[in-house]
Amino acid sequence: MKRRDILKKAGVGAVGLGAAGLALKPRKASAKKVYNWKMVTTWPPHFPVLGEAADYTAKWIKEMSDGRLNITVYGGGELVPPLQVFDAVSSGTVEMGHGASYYWAGKHPATQFFAAVPFGLNAQGMNAWLVAGGGQELWDELYAKFNLKGWPAGNTGVQMGGWFNKEIKTIADLKGLKMRIPGLGGKVLAKAGGNAVLVAGGEIYTNLDRGVIDATEWVGPYHDSKMGFYKAAKYYYSPGWHEPGTTLECMVNKKKYDALPKDLQAIIDAACAKSNMWSLCEFEAKNNKYLKELVEKHNVQVRQFPDAVLAQLKKYSDELLVELAAKDPLTKKICESYIAFKKQYDEWNAISEERYAKLKHL
């Protein structure tokens, strides 16, 4: 009995010593690498919706990564000028950027298709093309040439046609007009005899107020009210033929992105998708309220472009797409994909969304 008790105690002791031994062994470090990145934007710091989308994207990435990927956001001009975001991210000076891809038409004409095409896809159509119609793969192919990876990270919805200090009654009224209008819309205006001017968001009001430009487009009632354009222009035109569903972008330096762990890559993807939905919802929820305020409080005169003017602008837009497709093989490939998708989208839309919209008159 004593012998058994001794052996039993010895066994318990051995187990205890073994456990103690394991406890004394140094553990492998469980902490994962922390990444501290910078994001530059084309928007003024914390700008409503657009700048906020960049702020929120950084916030969501930090939360989802449990602090492993921390992004400091810089508004336009705080670290680099607004229209140098593309170069800063491409070169690796910073890791991320936020803006709209039509600002980079000088880098490659096809960038404009991933923001807005005059008389093109609306927000729902753009998301469908990018997510399920092959658009994202084409975007990846294009941006890889510049060491970039881009995502849809917001949408304005159908925009307003812009602010003017004179009424637009015929296409001739656009001749000689100096208007702040980016992307393909600006090239269509040029075909109509106007002068397209590219000005960063934070500089538009001053240019309009001082007469440097005669007219400007921006987004829609919510944003335009915040920008105070009603103080500098009298007429507010509809619809936004030039930007029927403008996609905002988040871009990342591709080498930096490829070097991230797969879970952090997925987190960036998810945060951009959330930002894409959030931005559109913000605009859609607030535009009508602010339109009423512009009309009833600030006596803004809302006008519609005459059908004859829109028809001529549409003709110019169609000509422009043909010219663009002839520039280089990749632009042709992207243009053809966009046009083909829009055709099938419009056919379905005609018997779904358009017919449903008519029910509001019942």
pLDDT tens digit sequence for 334-353: 999 999 999 999 999 999 99
Calculate mean pLDDT across residues 14-30: 40
- Indicate whether 299 pLDDT > 90: yes
Token pair in block for residue 9: 């105690």
Share of the chain above pLDDT 70, in %: 91
Q: Put the strands of the sheet holding 69-74 in their side by side order.
A: 69-74, 35-41, 96-99, 247-253, 148-155
Task: Please provide the average confidence, as pLDDT, over all residues in the chain.
Answer: 91
For residue 96, what pLDDT is reported? Answer: 98
C-alpha–C-alpha distance, residues 207 and 215, integer Å:
9
For residue 9, what pLDDT is reported? Answer: 46
Q: Which residue has the tokens 């009632």?
A: 221
What are the pLDDT digits (tens) for 35-49? 999 999 999 999 999
- Angle (CA) 82-84-86 rounded to 5° is 110
Calculate mean pLDDT across residues 153-170: 96
Calculate mean pLDDT across residues 291-315: 97
Dihedral through CA 256, CA 261, CA 264, CA 268, nearest 10?
40
C-alpha–C-alpha distance, residues 56 and 181, integer Å:
27
For residue 31, what pLDDT is reported? Answer: 66
What are the pLDDT digits (tens) for 233-273? 999 999 999 999 999 999 999 999 999 999 999 999 999 99
DSSP 3-41: HHHHHHHHHHHHHHHHHHHHHHSPPPP-PPPPEEEEEEE
Domains and CATH numbers, the chain: 35-155+245-284 (3.40.190.170)
327 versus 128: the higher-pLDDT residue is: 128
For residue 61, what pLDDT is reported? Answer: 98
pTM over 0.85: yes
Q: Place 224 in a pLDDT band, splitting at 50, 70 and 90.
A: very high
Is the omega angle on the peptide bond into residue 261 within 30 degrees of 0, that is, cis?
no
For residue 361, what pLDDT is reported? Answer: 73
Helices and strands per DSSP (H, E), number in the chain: 13, 11
C-alpha–C-alpha distance, residues 312 and 170, integer Å:
10
3-state secondary structure of 216: strand
For residue 186, what pLDDT is reported? Answer: 94
- Indicate whether 162 pLDDT > 90: yes
Q: Place 360 in a pLDDT band, splitting at 50, 70 and 90.
A: confident
For residue 3, what pLDDT is reported? Answer: 42
- Indicate whether 29 pLDDT > 90: no
